[in-house]
Amino acid sequence: MPSDVSRALPLSPRAFYILVALAEEDTHGYALSKRVETMSAGTVRITGGTLYPLIKQMLDDGWIVETAAAPGDPRRRAYRLTPRGRRIAQAEAARLTDVLRAARECKLVPSGSSL
């Protein structure tokens, strides 16, 4: 029987990037979207129309929690990764590592590549 964590996989790239970004530090929505864009070298962009529904779902699922207001602006809500959210992010990272290993074995990734 699949574990509670494995049932959440695979994650969408946007969801995974949000969890990875929150693994570094608590942050508010706008900074979170900017961090994702930076981490993905601009390949993943998250607008408010996408970000806030994802945040709501992650809050509902217990992957993240709302923390005290962001420093300097009490109107901004900050978010923190929960232990469950960290386990889900770790499981997705392991899944992607396995996919990359299979791609290397099939010669889809050059042997000298840093991937």
The CA distance from 72 to 52, in Å, is 21
pLDDT digits (tens, 9 = 90+) for 4-34: 798 999 999 999 999 999 999 999 999 999 9
* Cross-strand partners of 27: 79
Nearest C-alpha neighbor of 55 from the set 92, 99, 85, 83: 85
Q: What's the start-to-end Cα distance of the chain, in Å?
A: 32
| Banded model confidence at residue 1, pLDDT cuts 50, 70, 90 | very low
pLDDT digits (tens, 9 = 90+) for 63-98: 999 997 656 677 788 999 999 999 999 999 999 999
**Burial class of 18 by CB neighbour count within 10 A (0 to 12, 13 to 18, 19+):** buried
Answer yes or no: pTM beyond 0.85: yes
The CA distance from 59 to 15, in Å, is 12
- Token readout for 72 is 């300097």
